[in-house]
Amino acid sequence: MDVLAPEATPLALPESLLIDSPVRAEIEQFLYFEARLLDDRRYSEWLSLCADDIFYWMPMRRNRLTRDRSRELTEVGELAHFDENKTSLQWRVDQLNTNLHWSEAPPSRTRHLVSNVQVTPAATADEYDVNSNFICYRNRLEHDVDIWAGERQDVVRHLAERQWQLAKRTIILDQNVILSANLSVLF
């Protein structure tokens, strides 16, 4: 005898995701513009999109059993691939712009793909929590190819009409072992 499972109630889209379409569209365009600046190696212009109080962070990922999933990522203050502020990002950009950066001579060719953008209002006025998925493809020299995939958890700040800033970025790579020779690109 077949026992039919009770009919599941469809999940409703959370109210927090029902953000005003023009705001959401503008934030998406901001993210695409930012990706284009990075791919075009316009690092100083990219940096101008970052707030003075930016926190740019990529925790390390560890393999954990299902019961320990909450400890999969390192915490703020622990070891991380990136733990940057505006000053240290400026140093990175200055180094990339010198054309003397050992890991970027010749410079990498990148393609940043951003998708699955979800926008919710943040606790602070004029700020939005933005979750997105990304793939960053890098090719350097003849045979160096890296593909990083993951999630970005951003806080984007609205300054004025069509003016946005990146106030916080947490980059969560899907892989826990990075096989790349370096992490000299920006995400």
Segments making up each domain of the chain, as ranges: 20-173
Classify the phi-psi angles of 164: left when phi > 0, otherwise alpha if psi is within -120 to 50, otherwise beta. beta
Question: In this predicted structure, what is the pLDDT of residue 5?
Answer: 67
Pairing of strands 127-140, 109-121: antiparallel
Residue 56 CB burial class (10 angstroms; 0-12, 13-18, ≥19):
buried
Mean residue pLDDT of the chain comes to 91
Pairing of strands 163-173, 50-59: parallel
Tokens of 140: 């350097």
Regions of the chain where pLDDT drops below 50: none
> 79-113, pLDDT tens digit by residue?
999 999 999 999 999 999 987 877 888 899 999 99
Instruction: Round to whole Å and give the CA distance between 102 and 88.
Output: 18
Give me the phi and psi of 39, to 5 degrees please.
-65, -30
Domain 20-173: which CATH number of 3.10.20.310, 3.40.50.1970, 3.40.50.880, 3.10.450.50: 3.10.450.50
Q: What DSSP designation does 59 have? A: E
- How far from the centroid of its chain's Cα atoms is residue 133's Cα? 8
